[in-house]
Each structure stands twice: as structure tokens, then as C-alpha cells.
Amino acid sequence: MSAITVGVGMSQLDNSREAGIEACKTALEKTDGHADVLIVFAAMRFDHRELLAGIAAVAGDVPMAGGTTAGEISPQGFSEGSVVIMAIRSNLLHLHTGVGQHMSSDESACAGSLIADIRSRALFDRSASLLLLPNGMGGDGLKVLKGLQDELGVDYEIAGGYLGDDMRFKQTFQYYNGKVYRDAIVGLLFSLHNAFRTGIGVRSGFASIGNSFDCTSSEGNIVKEFDNVRALDLYKEFLGSERSESLPGACMEYPFGLIDQEAGLTGQRHFQLRCGLSVDHENGTITLAASIPEGSGVTLTTASRGDIINGAREAAEQAIAGLQGAKPELIVMFSCVGRRLVLGRRTPEEIDAVRDCIGYDVPIVGFYTYGEIGPIDRSVEKLAEAKFHNETVVLWVLGSV
């Protein structure tokens, strides 16, 4: 067999078990009925235990990583109410799944438990790459990364997306080795043979609208003050009265850009975007998907639909450059639900932009997320550390030499 074979299946059948069967059969057609691992993303509407039972009826006890989404991505493009499955088979890759539980109680400890679970079966060598799928409603995304990097080092290759619940913003589900979890982090470690390389693209298309200010008071992922003024009051001032009436929805169109001082040392201005999830009008606070530490420089950002689509194209170009001539074999795409909300009917265009650049013949799977993880630029030492993002597309591409 070749170094790697990959298949992707998708189903929108009403019956959860039958949908799992159909999608899994289609994915395994390309891998001669066998797989070393399955990546599974699905809509909230399913009976998740029945869905996974249907998959197991076809694939047996193949290791699995995945969970629920805010929209699915496959070779068919963008879909809702579906399940998408990527089957991977390789005689040169070593693939290991793991899980950490109780994320909302202690994000860092949960991340550490995930590492310990994988480490009980595999080595985290420096050539490996970790795909991460945390509970999207589990707390501060920065604390998840800190827990991982305390264990693995700040320069370890990590990419991923926070799982969704079809924009209900209540509870997400995680899939791990045929079982359904709540409040967990699932991981998939790719231990790479020298026949493979990875390319990662991280871009948004959002740009500063010129306002810069400092975070002067925050607690966890709740921002209390900017420039010693109540955070929500200052945000409303920038938005204007008409846009402020649509809060918190306006947060998707006008996210905060956390100014990356390390990135600034490279001569380029990069932002780690932060979306507001909710606002407290009485106390004047804004709750974000991840924290903005006190003393951080912040700017307000926005993007047109064309800018967002172009950001996806730039991410694809960056990922291809990172492969250094290796042939793309598969794409895992993580794109923020905020991008989907802004794009509306043009959502499929950002997936097309990625596939147009990397190749329509390259298998792709992914989902719309509640937060993204990836390095700004692995080729630059000061930008190689994985960061938490909103409103961003993160592409993880595996290529064969």
C-alpha cells in the first residue's frame, strides 16, 4: 500500500445510526475497508450514542477523535445537520488518541490529563503534531494552551478547534474511541515518519480600524475595564448607538485584536482575535472566549466578506509553503463560527478558496468552531508558539515527501 490513504464520508440522513453507517462506509471505501483512526465531526441534532454505534458497526473499535460543531466541512463543501468522517490508514504514521476530562473545573489540569493519557501509549517526540478538540463551552482557552505547553514546551506543534453546538452556546459533546463525552478535551497525536511533513496556515483577514487601548482590568476571560473605563461602555462608544443595539451579536463583526508584542518584533503587526460571547450591561463587562491579560494592548478590528475569504486563501498559501514541496495528502480545517455568521450565504466560498489553493483532489474535513488554535507562523521563531484565536481559519495539512 502507499504511505497513506485517506477517505472522507458525509451523511445527512435523519436516523442517527444510519447516518453514521453511511458516512463511515463512504470514508472506508478509499481505505479498503480499514483505518488506523477516524476523525468525526457532527451536528448537534443527532443522538450521539446512536451515531457512534452506527460508525462502530462499520469500522469496529478503530480509534476515534471528534465532536459536535457549528457547521461541518467536507469535500462536499459546507453542510449543516450532517456528520463528516475522515478515515486515515498508513503503514508509516503512528496515530494516538487521548482524552482529558472536567475541563470547566480546571482547564490546565484537564489539558495535563489529556497529555498523560496519550503519553501512557506514545512518546511526544519533537517531530509529532497534536490536533486538539476541546469543549467549546469549557472556559478560558488560554488556560488550555498553558496546560499543554507546561507539559510539552511552548514551541510544540499544536493545532485545533473548540467544538460547537450549532450556535446554541450551551453544551458541546466530544467523541473519543466510540464514546460520547461532555466537558472534555480530545486529542489526536500524529507521530510523523520522515516521509511526512505538516503545513499550518493561520490567517483571519481582519484588520485594525485604528482604535488602540489597554486592558486595565480583567478577571479570567471577563474584561472589566479598557483605559480605566468600563469595558462595555468604551466598546459601545466605538460601535456607535445603532450597532450597540445588536450586542452581543456585533461582537462577531467587531472582535478585539490582542496585539502580539512578540509578533511585533518581526516587523509585522499581528493580532490574536477575541470575540465577545456575552455582555453585562449592568456591570459593564464583556465575557470573551479567552482572556485578555491586564496590561495588554488591544485594538478593534473588522473585515468585509471579501477580506474573510481572502484570509482563508492566505492561510492555504501559508500551509502549502510550510510543506516545503511535500505533496498534500489531507486537510483539517478549523474556521470560527463568527466567520460563518459574517459570511452568511458566502460561507462556502472560504472553503472553495482553500481547496482552490491546495487542490480539490486533496481530502478535507473540518468544522466551524468556538475558537481556534495554531501558531501565527511556524517559520519564524518568535511566531512558532501555538496561540488561541477567534474569527480565524486554521488549516492543518499533512503532506508526503
The predicted structure's pLDDT at residue 268 = 58
Kindly give, in sequence order, each residue whose CB lies less than 8 Å from that of residue 289, ignoring residues fewer than 6 positions away. Answer: 141, 162, 221, 274, 275, 277, 370, 371, 388, 390
Pairing of strands 207-219, 173-176: unpaired
Residue 380: predicted pLDDT: 87
265-286: average pLDDT? 81
| Count of Cβ atoms closer than 10 Å to residue 207 Cβ | 16
pLDDT score at 77? 97
Averaged pLDDT for residues 20-44:
97
Q: Which residue has the higher pLDDT, 61 or 248?
A: 61
Q: Mean pLDDT in the chain?
A: 94
Is the CB of residue 50 less than 8 Å from the CB of residue 56? no
- Bridge partners, 398 (sequence order): 198, 330
**Residue written as grid cell 478593534:** 300
Name the grid cell of 314: 492566505
Q: Which of helix, strand or coil describes residue 363? A: coil
Residues 55 and 64: their CA atoms lie apart, in Å, by 10
Task: Give the pairing type, strands 364-369 and 184-191.
Answer: unpaired
Longest dimension (CA), the chain: 63
pLDDT at 61: 96
Q: What is the DSSP string of 77-128?
A: EEESS-EEEEEEE-SS-EEEEEEEE-TTT-HHHHHHHHHHHHHTT----TT-
User: Domain ranges in the chain?
Assistant: 5-202+308-400, 207-302
pLDDT digits (tens, 9 = 90+) for 307-334: 999 999 999 999 999 999 999 999 999 9
CA–CA separation, 184 and 172 (whole Å): 9
93 φ/ψ sector (left φ>0, alpha ψ -120 to 50, else beta) = beta
Model confidence at 379, in pLDDT bands (50, 70, 90)?
confident
What is the distance in angstroms between the CA of the first residue and the CA of the last residue of the chain? 16
By percentage, how much of the chain surpasses pLDDT 70? 98
Sorted by sequence, the CB contacts under 8 Å of residue 240 that are 6+ apart come out as none
Residue 297 has pLDDT above 80, yes or no: yes
Helix or strand (DSSP H, E) at 220: none
Per-residue model confidence (pLDDT) at position 135: 96
280, 235 contact by CB (below 8 A): no
Range 343-365 average pLDDT: 97
| 325: CB partners within 8 A, 6+ apart | 401
Mean pLDDT in residue range 347-375:
97
